[in-house]
């Protein structure tokens, strides 16, 4: 016999997936107001490409001037209220990046739910096909190389890469490029 809880969860999942399939068919002009309703926060000038999946969007905040490339997955938590995903302003996310703010306690045979916030600070860039795990903060101006798995915090203005992601070098900024960009 199937429990009422399993029926409710599978019905919710079915309706939720149908909703996102229909949302996928809309042009962004029509998606934007829907995203404003379902996310905890959504700034202006946000680009969310096709085939991007959001689990528990009310636990996700997106700042202004954010670009989310196609095929990304965002798994915030529902039971664990701290399992949020917070994306600050001016962040670029490459294609097929996965964010897991919720997971399971590996120290328990019952695998109880766990979770901690993922925070992407301003001007950070996540390379394609990377994975960001629960409790990670990507520092301001930091870069995560493509295909990396980030399991611990990334310091501001550093470049990390690999599995698990390790420090590669400090990010050096060219002031002349910044001035040209901000003045033009």
- Per DSSP, the three-state class of 107 is coil
Which of 172-179's residues contact partners 24+ apart within 8 Å by CB, and which partners?
A: 173/141
CA torsion angle for 93, 51, 132, 64 (degrees, to 10)? 40
Q: Is 123 one of the annotated active-site residues of the chain?
A: no
Could you give phi then psi for residue 20, rounded to 5 degrees? -70, -30
Structure tokens at 179: 């001035």
Per DSSP, helices labelled H in 80-123 are none
Catalytic residue among 47, 104, 169, 170: 104
Rounded CA separation 48/60 (Å): 13
Sign of CA dihedral 102, 53, 48, 27: negative
Confirm if 123 and 141 have CB atoms less than 8 A apart.
yes
Q: Apex CA 63: angle with CA 96 and CA 167, to 5°?
A: 55
Query: Which residues are marked as active site?
Result: 104
């Amino acid at each position: 016999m199937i429990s009422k809880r399993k029926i409710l969860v599978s019905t919710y999942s079915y309706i939720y997936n149908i909703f996102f399939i229909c949302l996928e068919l809309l042009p962004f002009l029509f998606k934007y107001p829907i995203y404003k309703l379902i996310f905890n926060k959504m700034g202006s000038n946000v680009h969310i490409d096709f085939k991007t999946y959001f689990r528990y969007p009310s636990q996700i905040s997106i700042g202004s001037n954010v670009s989310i490339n196609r095929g990304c997955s965002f798994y915030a938590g529902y039971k664990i209220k701290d399992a949020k995903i917070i994306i600050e302003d001016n962040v670029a996310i490459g294609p097929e990046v996965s964010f897991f703010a919720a997971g399971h306690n590996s120290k328990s045979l019952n695998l109880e739910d766990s979770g901690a916030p993922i925070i992407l600070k301003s001007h950070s860039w996540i390379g394609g096909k990377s994975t960001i795990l629960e409790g990670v903060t990507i520092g301001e101006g930091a870069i995560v190389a493509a295909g990396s798995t980030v399991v611990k915090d990334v310091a501001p203005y550093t470049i990390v890469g690999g599995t698990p992601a390790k420090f590669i070098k400090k990010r050096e900024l060219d002031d002349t490029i910044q001035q040209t960009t901000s003045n033009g």
